[in-house]
Amino acid sequence: MDRKSTLPAAEVAVLPLHPRSAEQSDGRQPAAAVEPQVPALRGADSTETYQADRALHAMLARLSGGISPAALSLAYMDWLLHLAAAPQRQIEIAQQALLDTRHLFDASQHFFSPGQGPWSLIKPQLQDKRFGRPEWELAPFNLMAQAFLLADRWWHNATTGMRGVSKQNEAIVEFSVRQMLDVMSPSNFAATNPEVLRRMLESGGGNFLRGCQNFWSDWTRLVSAGLGPVIKGEFVVGETVATSRGKVVFRNELIELIQYYPTTDKVHPEPVLIVPAWIMKYYILDLSPQNSLVKYLTGEGFTVFMISWRNPEAGDRDIAFDDYRKMGVDAALDAIGSIVPDRQVQALGYCLGGTLLAIAAATMARNGDERLKSISLLAAQTDFTEAGELTLFINESQVAFLEDMMWERGVLDTTQMAGAFQLLRSNDLIWSRLTRDYLMGERAAPSDLMAWNADATRLPYRMHSEYLRKLFLNNDLVGGRYLVEGKPISLSDIHTPIFVVGTVRDHVAPWKSVYKIHYQVDADVTFVLASGGHNAGIVAPPGEEGHTYRIRTKAADARYVGPDEWRTMVRAVEGSWWPEWTKWLSGRSGEPSGPPRMGTKATQAAHLPEAPGDYVRH
């Protein structure tokens, strides 16, 4: 919208019209209409809009952890009003509470009776590891655990399935109640956790002393640096992680492009460009030598380029989402074209980088740009209607609240991003860690993945706002409403072969959401469903135990198969999916020949650094 126009378009449309047609019935021209002097409203994205209101929201965001109180209140009001108008449902859940209480009382009276198993009333779910140790089968701890699990089940039933409540509000209520219940789990308190009590007896209370030391260390770091507990240990960027040999061959204000040195005598002619997410640092795909995707690719005879995104500061608040396409993917392709001219590129996008790559590929297809030989998307969504529990934080109220928080700072802070992801798995990432660190007095052994996860980045205000609104909130990309350079793009324009990976336990990009690419593009789609989660399922090197995958290719003109049917009909295979991918890439590559040059003369003149570059260190 033109901010300089006197009236917004909507106001112009409702100006009073002359009761006659454009020319009066008596032939006279109508007198020029005098527009009423209505002050134009400022745009919602203007930094001058309602500054006092936005400042208040930013202050509230610091207190609420970025969760909109209005969004939470509206969700509970929706649930409570429908519950109040459902007397039969009220009776049902009240009866269930009385029944559970009676069963728990009976179990407590006969706990030691023959045939009375430790989990006679309710068992923990398979993914719930809080009560998995044998100590939890002893009285009274077992009864406390069962009482907690019964309460958890009752609240789940009470907050779900209420007729008339919107699905998103129901999910918000159920999720928030679950978070509050998790705080009260008996595993979180020393007096009700048998594992902690056993450790106390074994150590003579030394676990509490070590726990106090851990707490003080974390508290000092939080107060002094504004950061939570971070354990990097011996994992240092450029020394023990992100160690693949390479050189920065291009740099602009947003990216450094790394070209990796070949490790084979001959390489495939088509280079591989990796577009990682800018939510975290790029080296998730170049961790330690034994699990580096970059090292694996170069060892298989591919020339690899990697984008390393600059960590934005408050002054970068106006960097737009499309700037990441233009100054990221497009700029990288231009740079690669100057190093290996007249070669198509095999492009890979991970997480948000995959979403960006899909947008760039659709734009290139619309414009007749044929530089992409193939597209690979790892745990990347293009349709956000089923984006898992992360969508609980995405509605108009919540997005406006986040925008006001970012408006004050210019960026989404690392702690806000990390906190949102931790809430999705609070049992594993919050409460179990607090119990281990502060009650058991232990510290988890540092790992390369933990070190990378602690190396968080910030997100620019404008980019993140556009990302939330255009993709999550409005789902413009699959609706044909996403504009690039003023014109819409469509994923159906993509005819390039696509390799897609989803992971079974992905809380960020659920595999069924990733699977939707099958009916969005007009191309051959090879889909892999890998074991593991959003990170561990992708970093799955050959030789590492515990990995499985399913793989199947759908031709562009083949019949669509739904995700549940697909999973049933495709057999699981032991091992890593990486070899399947490199075989797929090789099938779309030319005959290997000598490796290309490293960079250009301009690269040498610019005195750019060796990998991992400078941007990754900030």
* Contact in structure between 293 and 539 (CB atoms under 8 Å): yes
Beta bridge partners of 179: none
Average pLDDT, the chain: 87
Choose the weakest-confidence range: 217-221, 339-343, 479-483: 217-221
The pLDDT of residue 23 is: 39
Answer whether residue 32 shows pLDDT above 50: no
Going by pLDDT thresholds of 50, 70 and 90, the confidence category of residue 117 is: confident
pLDDT (average), residues 211-233: 71
Q: What is the pTM of this model?
A: 0.85
Q: What is the pLDDT of residues 473-499, one digit of tens each?
A: 999 999 999 999 999 999 999 999 999
Answer whether residue 406 shows pLDDT above 90: no
Report the length, in residues, of the chain. 618
* Residues 6+ away with beta carbon under 8 Å from 463: 319, 320, 321, 323, 324
Answer whether residue 450 shows pLDDT above 80: yes
Answer whether residue 39 shows pLDDT above 80: no
Whether 212 is catalytic is no
Q: Is 543 left (phi over 0), alpha (psi -120 to 50) or beta?
A: left
Q: What is the pLDDT of residues 224-262, one digit of tens each?
A: 655 444 455 578 999 999 999 999 999 999 999 999 999
Answer whether residue 36 shows pLDDT above 60: no
pLDDT (average), residues 573-600: 97
Tokens for 413, please give them: 């802070």
DSSP-assigned letter for residue 573: E
More confident residue, 536 or 64: 536
The pLDDT of residue 30 is: 41
pLDDT (average), residues 408-433: 71
pLDDT > 70 in the chain, percent = 86
pLDDT > 90 in the chain, percent = 68
pLDDT (average), residues 415-440: 74
Going by pLDDT thresholds of 50, 70 and 90, the confidence category of residue 110 is: confident
Q: Tell me how crowded residue 480 is: count the other CB atoms within 10 A of its CB.
A: 11
Answer whether residue 25 shows pLDDT above 90: no
More confident residue, 107 or 339: 339
Choose the weakest-confidence range: 84-93, 243-252, 411-420, 517-526: 411-420
Answer whether residue 13 shows pLDDT above 70: no
Q: How far apart are CA 533 and CA 424, in angstroms?
A: 12
* Residue 452 dihedral angles phi and psi, to the nearest 5°: -65, -45
Tokens for 497, please give them: 């072969």
More confident residue, 424 or 560: 560
Angle 553-557-561 (CA atoms, 0-180°, nearest 5)?
Answer: 55
Domains and CATH numbers, the chain: 69-199 (no CATH), 205-234+414-454 (no CATH), 246-413+458-617 (3.40.50.1820)
Q: Which of 177, 345, 351, 491 is catalytic?
A: 351
Highest-scoring range by mean pLDDT, 415-424, 430-439, 504-513: 504-513
* Contact in structure between 227 and 415 (CB atoms under 8 Å): yes
